[in-house]
Amino acid sequence: MSDMSRPEGPRIIAIANQKGGVGKTTTTINLAAALVEEGMRVLIVDLDPQGNASTGLGIDLDQREHTTYELLTQQSTLQQVIHTTDTEDLCIVPATVDLSSADIELIANERRSFLLHTALRQRGMEEYDWDYILIDCPPSLNLLTVNAMVAADSVLIPLQSEFFALEGLSQLMLSVREVRQAANPHLRIEGVVLTMYDRRNNLSLQVEQDARDNLGELVFRTKIPRNVRVSEAPSYAMPVLSYDPMSLGAKAYRQLAAEVIANHEKVAA
């Protein structure tokens, strides 16, 4: 545990990119675990119908009686949906495939874009004393992702170090701008983190250069390497920081957590 100061109130970060396979869930789980190592209390909200963050933290399907679906549809309270994990001070609201029908079911609700915002600010929330809430978004710009952006303080974007990586990013940025104008004027870009980075690969170097040329300081200094230990950890239902604390992946996520905390200290100053 470091002596870094704890942020005031929970900082809510949506981890989003409409492209699949870019490392959203991996980043959610391991950034959360790294923040816990820094003395933070963290809640993950699994907003992806695939439920991979829930599986990756050891929440079996038969344990998911109360999920983000019930939370959004107001069938369950926050207290009912929060699960502890094997990592102390890290909890999760799990997801199931039920979420995939939420877009259709909620379309008639006038407040459909504000359901998660309301759920995360309900009475009793302060008792948990969360420092960070990380929302693992689905790989699309649908109503669930809009709910995450309306509820969040900021959006963190994992960007895979591959050809065409920046394509589609403009659409995500446009969505952030639209949410800012329509529903959440304080929403900001937390940053863009390069994932699956291979410094021996010219393509990774080129993607990094393009990202920094186009996005400047929005790109985190930390790069998440392509690392077999990061890939193996979810099958053991644990973050890579627990599975192999000294791996390159674990070290990178600790550096990312330090950057996130430093950003928030700068914003709060």
Q: Describe the strand order of the beta sheet including 42-46 as a list of residue ranges.
A: 83-84, 90-93, 42-46, 132-136, 11-15, 154-160, 188-197, 219-225
| 94-129 per-position pLDDT tens digit | 999 989 888 888 888 888 999 999 999 887 788 889
| 12-27 per-position pLDDT tens digit | 999 999 988 899 999 9
Q: What is the mean pLDDT of the chain?
A: 90
Given a cut of 70, whether residue 3 has pLDDT beyond it is no
Summarize the confidence of residues 143-152 as an average pLDDT. Answer: 96
Distance CA(46)–CA(67), nearest Å, equals 9
For the chain, percent of residues with pLDDT exceeding 70: 96
pLDDT attached to residue 213 = 92
Distance CA(17)–CA(197), nearest Å, equals 17
pLDDT attached to residue 169 = 87
Given a cut of 90, whether residue 42 has pLDDT beyond it is yes
pLDDT attached to residue 6 = 42
Distances (CA, A) of 51 to 3, 45, 56, 159: 34, 10, 9, 21
pLDDT attached to residue 4 = 41
Query: What are the DSSP calls for 79-134, one per residue?
Result: HHH-EE-SSTTEEEE---GGGGGHHHHHTT-TTGGGHHHHHTTSTTGGGG--SEEE
| 155-170 per-position pLDDT tens digit | 999 998 887 778 778 8
Given a cut of 70, whether residue 5 has pLDDT beyond it is no
pLDDT grade for 1, boundaries at 50, 70 and 90: very low
Given a cut of 60, whether residue 7 has pLDDT beyond it is no
In the block, which residue shows the tokens 């960007």? 159
Q: At what angle do helices 24-37 and 248-268 cross, to 10 degrees?
A: 70
Given a cut of 60, whether residue 2 has pLDDT beyond it is no
| 168-221 per-position pLDDT tens digit | 788 899 999 999 999 999 999 999 999 999 888 888 898 899 899 989 999 999
